[in-house]
């Protein structure tokens, strides 16, 4: 692909000189994709990284990176060369002890990966979602009903967080008290994927009470019958997994299941409030809710980056990456690659192929929570169309965190819909 792309024409200051230890034949960048400044506005840097070449060396962290759609896609689809069992953060599990026992799905390779995955796939199947759907719709309508009483609201706290928090913990079967640990726990888990910087150190320094609560709730006796957590444990009765494995798989639900949907729905609110034309399109045809969600995931990429580790020397478009190297995947850059998307920097809620974005990863590790995420987003947007003239009532404020890029606050105004 992209023989037309100019690889030498890198003029930016972020593409640095070649410090000692730089691998030969690879463009170098000194950007830090784990800094707060990067998260304020990653898009210009994404453009530079894609333009620099198919593979870039990030000198700050001593890692290879790919930012073009094709290469990110290819890496995701080659688990044998680009493994997950050495961790999908910067820390290499072959060299450093992970901060928590590795996930049985995220941080494993086939064949171990596949057995655990089969269990979660069944627990999170489309059939199970059908059962959850009526409750989700009622909860979304109730949430938006509360907002209608007001002139402005915080699109993040009052909707992007409040709605998933009103349905997800119940769906899992968690007890009512202590749920406030869920988002902070996941916040730490995502920051822990980054380098050993201030954000990561501060996150890990505060994690103990969140770990204690989450670990406790993963136990079979603490999960309500009929919920997703109980369904994971039921798989240990058939011998599909051992009971300790079930406990750890519930932890995956609790780590991956809430911060992601909160920031996904937050991304949708971010886009729809800022692009009135797109909001109008959705309001005129609320069956676009699902497509609108895909497009806002593509445009905003709440999950910015993930790593793989090479298991052998591998050539990527003429660049040799040695064995045992961390490779950073810029999902957010791939999702706006002009070689892949028409007018990538525009939000179009009816973009026909928006769902080809890489926010759910790809290949053997492709997200298993897609049905649950899409269901929540669809019913949230479906309920939100009850509001007229959604518009920003203040500047969006980005959260100070890594890996997940999302808003901390975004005040929204609207008019109640006139019948
Ligand atoms: C987080 C786990 C890769 C993330 C976007 C989502 C994620 C998936 C799984 C786990 C954590 O298994 O703990």
CA of 252 to the centre of ligand 1 (A): 6
Is residue 66 a contact partner of residue 33, using CB atoms and an 8 Å limit?
no
Residue 24 alpha carbon to ligand 1 centre in Å: 34
The number of the ligand 1 atom at minimal distance from the alpha carbon of 306 is 3
Q: State the pLDDT at residue 2.
A: 42
Contact by Cβ (8 Å): 323, 312: yes
Cβ 78 vs Cβ 340: under 8 Å = no
Give the burial string for 190-204 (b: 16+ CB within 10 Å, else e). bbbbbbebebbeebe
Q: 2 CA distance to ligand 1 centroid (A)? A: 32
Residue 146, token pair as written in the block: 């509360």
pLDDT of residue 419: 55
The Cα 81–Cα 91 span in angstroms is 18
Q: What is the rounded distance in angstroms from the CA atom of residue 99 to the CA atom of residue 91?
A: 10
Position 18 scores a pLDDT of 84
The pLDDT assigned to 171 comes to 98
Give the distance (Å) from ligand 1 centre to CA of residue 40.
23
Contact 124, 235 (CB under 8 A): no
Nearest CA to ligand 1 atom 11: 256
Write out residues with Cβ below 6 Å of ligand 1. Answer: 103, 105-106, 252, 255-256, 260, 303
Which residue among 104, 106, 183 is best mutated to probe the pocket of ligand 1, counting the most ligand atoms within 8 A of its Cβ? Answer: 106
What is 7-416's CATH number?
Answer: 1.10.630.10
Task: Please give the distance, rounded to the nearest whole angstrom, from the Cα atom of residue 163 to the centre of ligand 1.
Answer: 20
Q: Which atom of ligand 1 is nearest to the CA of 404?
A: 5
pLDDT of residue 20: 81
For atom 6 of ligand 1, the residue with the nearest CA is 256
Closest C-alpha residue for ligand 1 atom 8: 256
- Name which of 299, 305, 308 is nearest 275 in CA terms: 299
Query: Strands 314-316 and 305-310, how do they pair?
Result: unpaired
SS3 labels along the chain: CCCCCCCCCCCCCCCCCCCCCCCCCCCEECCCCCCHHHHHCCHHHHHHHHHHCCCEEECCCCEEEECCHHHHHHHHCCCCCEECCCCCCCCCCCCCCCCCCCCCCCCCCCCHHHHHHHHHHHHCCHHHHHHHHHHHHHHHHHHHHHHHCCCEEEHHHHHHHHHHHHHHHHHHCCCCCCHHHHHHHHHHHHHCCCCCCHHHHHHHHCCHHHHHHHHHHCCHHHCCCCCHHHHHHHHHHCCCCCHHHHHHHHHHHHHHCCHHHHHHHHHHHHHHHHCHHHHHHHHHCHHHHHHHHHHHHHHHCCECEEEEEECCCEEECCEEECCCCEEEEEHHHHCCCCCCCCCCCCCCCCCCCHHHCCCCCCHHHCCCCHHHHHHHHHHHHHHHCCEEEEEECCCCEECCCCCECCEEECEEEEEECCC
Q: Whose CA is nearest to atom 4 of ligand 1?
A: 256
Q: How far does residue 36's CA lie from ligand 1's centre (Å)? A: 22
Output the CA angle 101-245-188, nearest 5 degrees.
35
What tens-digit pLDDT sequence spans the chain (419 residues)?
A: 444 565 443 434 445 678 888 899 999 999 999 999 999 999 999 999 999 999 999 999 999 999 999 999 999 999 999 999 999 999 999 999 999 999 999 999 999 999 999 999 999 999 999 999 999 999 999 999 999 989 899 999 999 999 999 999 999 999 999 999 999 999 999 999 999 999 999 999 999 999 999 999 999 999 999 999 999 999 999 999 999 999 999 999 999 999 999 999 999 999 999 999 999 999 999 999 999 999 999 999 999 999 999 999 999 999 999 999 999 999 999 999 999 999 999 999 999 999 999 999 999 999 999 999 999 999 999 999 999 889 999 999 999 999 999 999 999 999 866 65
Please state whether the predicted TM-score (pTM) of the whole model is above 0.85: yes
Q: Could you identify the atom of ligand 1 that is nearest to the CA of residue 107?
A: 12
Sheet of 387-392, strand order: 152-154, 411-416, 387-392
Question: Which residue has the CA at smallest separation from atom 13 of ligand 1?
Answer: 252
CA of 365 to the centre of ligand 1 (A): 10
Cα distances (Å, whole numbers) of residue 290 to 116, 376, 404, 416: 28, 10, 21, 23
Going from the Cα of 359 to the center of ligand 1, the distance in angstroms, rounded, reads 12
- Cβ 42 vs Cβ 60: under 8 Å: no
> Residues 182, 172, 226, CA angle at the centre, nearest 5°?
160
Contacts of 260 (CB under 8 A, 6+ apart): 186, 302, 303, 369, 373, 404
State the pLDDT at residue 151: 87
- Determine the pLDDT at residue 5: 65
């Amino acid at each position: 692909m992209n023989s037309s792309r100019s690889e030498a024409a890198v003029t930016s200051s972020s593409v640095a000189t070649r410090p000692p230890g730089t691998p030969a034949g690879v463009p170098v960048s000194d950007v830090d994709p784990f800094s707060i400044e990067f998260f304020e506005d990653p898009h210009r840097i994404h453009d530079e990284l894609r333009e620099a070449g198919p593979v870039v060396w990030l000198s700050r962290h001593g890692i290879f990176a790919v930012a073009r759609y094709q290469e990110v896609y290819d890496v995701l689809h080659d688990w044998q060369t680009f493994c997950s069992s050495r961790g999908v953060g910067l820390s290499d599990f072959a060299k450093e002890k992970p901060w928590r026992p590795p996930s049985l799905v995220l941080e494993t390779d086939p064949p171990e990966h596949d057995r655990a995955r089969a269990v979660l796939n069944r627990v999170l199947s489309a059939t199970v979602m059908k059962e959850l759907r009526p409750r989700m719709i009622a909860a979304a309508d109730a949430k938006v009903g509360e907002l209608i009483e007001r002139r402005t609201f915080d699109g993040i706290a009052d909707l992007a967080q409040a709605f998933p928090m009103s349905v997800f913990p119940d769906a899992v079967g968690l007890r009512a008290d202590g749920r406030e640990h869920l988002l902070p726990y996941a916040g730490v888990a995502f920051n822990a994927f980054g380098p050993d910087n201030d954000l990561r150190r501060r996150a890990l320094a505060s994690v103990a009470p969140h770990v204690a609560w989450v670990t406790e709730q993963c136990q079979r006796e603490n999960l309500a019958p009929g919920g997703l957590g109980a369904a994971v444990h039921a798989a240990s009765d058939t011998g599909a997994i051992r009971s300790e494995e079930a406990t750890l798989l519930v932890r995956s639900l609790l780590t991956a299941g809430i911060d992601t949907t909160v920031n996904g729905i937050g991304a949708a609110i971010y886009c729809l409030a800022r692009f009135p034309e797109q909001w109008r399109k959705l309001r005129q045809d609320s069956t676009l809710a699902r497509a609108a969600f895909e497009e806002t995931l593509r445009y905003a990429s709440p999950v910015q980056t993930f790593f793989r580790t090479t298991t052998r020397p591998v050539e990527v478009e003429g660049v040799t990456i040695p064995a045992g190297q961390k490779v950073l995947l810029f999902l957010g850059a791939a999702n706006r690659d002009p070689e892949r998307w028409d007018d990538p920097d525009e939000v179009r809620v009816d973009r026909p192929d928006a769902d080809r974005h890489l926010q759910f990863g790809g290949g053997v590790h492709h997200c298993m929570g897609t049905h649950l995420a899409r269901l929540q987003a669809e019913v949230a947007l479906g309920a939100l169309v009850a509001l007229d003239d959604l518009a920003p009532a203040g500047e969006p404020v980005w959260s100070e965190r890594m890996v997940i890029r999302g808003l901390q606050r975004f005040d929204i105004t609207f008019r109640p819909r006139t019948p």
